[in-house]
Copies of this chain bind each other. A is one copy, B any other.
């Protein structure tokens, strides 16, 4: 749990590339004394970006050259075949070769998942990696997976997601038995599709702290620590939430701009509104983990700014410190032993 952690950053990925990743790296180094960072990407470009901020490479901030960049719309198969020297791939290679304890990329999700899976491989007992992130709730936050890596999930896949999500929540939140819920469209047993019903049956038999079916609104209550669903449903839920939050902000701004009195009210209410916005600031939750791989891979939002990208680095640091992949591996081994013993 102690020591130094090295995190490789895909410095060319995302909508803004080094322009966001380099300042985010500097902020992270200032905040966390126990990390070293490796900027992976075009050496000349990265040195220039550092120089512009009055900085240079150091022991704690190295540059690792990579000549290629994976495009934000590039198909995963193409990235895998033609971009062997991309900043994304090289950052993942550093994890594979144990030169880094984790990597972070804001590059395209499909390519990142395909490359990470190809290079790092999944843990024994995991069929498919899943994407998980923490979502703010009325009380604390909720971890939700899968968020889009897998569109058609069997009951076993959902079960594996539950095991992985539970280990992650336990590790990063320091809780011993995270409450695991299965996302469904009603709390009764008769509802839902076959996969969900069968997964429920598997979870009831398991040693996880399975609390039963939860519905969409429960994600935001804080009464469940891990919400499990297939990637199609999870992705829609996440994007829908973004849409609602944006509409709410839009309406609020519109109402506070309507006439002189409202503008005055806005002035008075500003500090409160600002605090409120801080509470639902998506940047504070940027950073999704690709779970089920033999290594820590964190996906930052493509449009993330430096504050948001630094948060993804923070998550990479925690998962490296807590050795999340090793913990999942250990738990899966125990479960397989239990099964073969019973």
Interface set of A (CB-CB < 8 Å, partner B): 73, 75, 110, 136-138, 148, 151-152, 183, 185-186, 188, 190-194, 215-221, 229, 231-233, 235-248, 250-252, 255-256, 258, 261-262, 264-266, 268-269, 271-273, 275-276, 279-280
Contact = CB atoms under 8 A, between A and B. Distances in A.
Contacts of A216: 235-243
Given A192-B151, A229-B236, A243 B217 contact: yes
B235 A232 contact: no
A193 B232 contact: yes
A138 B237 contact: no
A239 B268 contact: no
A268 B268 CA distance: 7
B255 A243 contact: no
Q: Which 3 A-B pairs give the minimum distances between C-beta atoms? A: A216-B239, A217-B243, A216-B240
A155 B3 CA distance: 54
Given A137-B247, A241-B241, 12 more contacts: A136-B247, A148-B186, A152-B194, A183-B236, A216-B238, A219-B240, A220-B243, A248-B280, A266-B269, A266-B272, A268-B268, A269-B272
A219 B252 CA distance: 18
A244 B235 CA distance: 15
A185 B190 CA distance: 27
Given A219-B240, A243-B221, A235 B185 contact: yes
Contacts of A268: 264-265, 268-269
A131 to B, nearest CB: 11
Given A185-B151, A192-B232, A245 B243 contact: no
Q: Of residues A215, A248, A269, which shows the largest number of chain B Cβ atoms within 10 Å of its Cβ?
A: A269
B247 A248 contact: no
B239 A255 contact: no
Contacts of A276: 251-252, 255
12 contacts: A110-B190, A110-B191, A151-B193, A193-B232, A216-B235, A216-B242, A217-B239, A220-B240, A251-B279, A255-B272, A255-B275, A256-B269
